[in-house]
Structure 1
Amino acid sequence: MIRVLLVDDDPLVRAGLRLMLGGAPDIDVVGEAADGAEVPALVAAHAPDLVLMDIRMPVVDGLAATKALRARPGAPEVLVLTTFHTDAHVLRALRAGAAGYLLKDTPPADLVAAIRAVAEGDPVLSPAVTRRLMRHVAGGPGRDDRAAAARARLARLGDREREVARAVGRGLSNAEIAREMHLALSTVKTHVSQILTRLDLNNRVQIALLVHDADSSDDTP
């Protein structure tokens, strides 16, 4: 079972999500929070595998709650589910450690599939969010500075770790990386863990963002 904690300040939204997810045989909603401030205690009490997190909440918003939660050892995955999809919201959520970002108009079947994917460690982004990330990588203020800083961080890695990081940036799974680089799956998992530790990151989405930032600059064709 995938244990899910719902975090949204709208009780009707939480009720709808609980009802919808209740139809999935492998998902168990173990708790609800109306604000990000309630998340730490509920995570400690219920040990969810995944937190379904809104952004706009009155005391502690979902971005701050995600950052604080993902900084803890053994933290559950976070899947953001919100109506807000500006560049700033998307990037802050992913850099804070969210493994997925979906909009509230996501069809129920797609939401259930996303929860399963994120629980397995695979990042999930809605199409609108993916388009925003592509625009962020392609241009925008400070692109050269971001690229230089990202390249400097990647330079901390060994050659094989950088290869694995770039494969993660291309969206490959561990199994696909293992096949492409002729490595054991366990070796790829070790490399990914080392990358996360060396660069102080906490999921594959953050690795991919760093790789894309490193490859972007004003003189990139």
Structure 2
Amino acid sequence: MELLIKSFIDSEKNENLAEILKQISDNKFICKNYSEISQVIYALKNDEFTKLINYFGLKSRNDVNHFDGVVDSLSISNKDRDNLQHFGRHIELSCMQRRYIEKITEDVTEEAETARRKVQKIYSEFVGILGVFTALSFALMGSVQVFGNILNNVTDPNRKTIGFVLVVAGIYMILIYFVVMTLFIGMKKIFGIDGEYRFNFKFTGCMLVVSVFLILIGVIGVYFI
């Protein structure tokens, strides 16, 4: 059966194809053995399957069915012709079933790949968010600890020590703000969002004004009072 079906693939090289069909036309078992026909067609390589489809005119509606042309040219009885027509229909049906199965497989594979990309993106976002907030927590905890140590060392509060604390507080506000902004910029790159990150100029301006104000007050308290 395999050699018989593959003879259609190389029909241009097989000059005895009409004679082969004539010989099997009276064999009902071969012509109507759908299960074996299906197994052979499902096992064909992609290039062989494409050639078989072209031979039976299944690629498009306007294609010529060369098999029917060969069968019509044979001088055989109506019963034998009916056997060959059944044989051809079984091949066509198996080809259409294989194409349908391949299409479903491609759709399922594409959906699985889409789902995999979504899961991977969610995982990346989760890791990114976790990393950003972990780094943010360490930065804030470190700054609070350093600032607390500075306050603990102020045993004799006066204008100079308070001014020094204000200067340090202003500098730390600027540093922490830019650390946080850097983390958010990194998080945006992890998420793969297009476009550049834009700072909120009003909030940034307020932060800088407050920080500079604290630094100036501290400098005045340390050096000028």
So what's the TM-score if we normalise by structure 2? Answer: 0.20
So what's the TM-score if we normalise by structure 1? Answer: 0.21
Which structure has the highest strand share of the two? 1
Which structure has the highest helix share of the two? 2
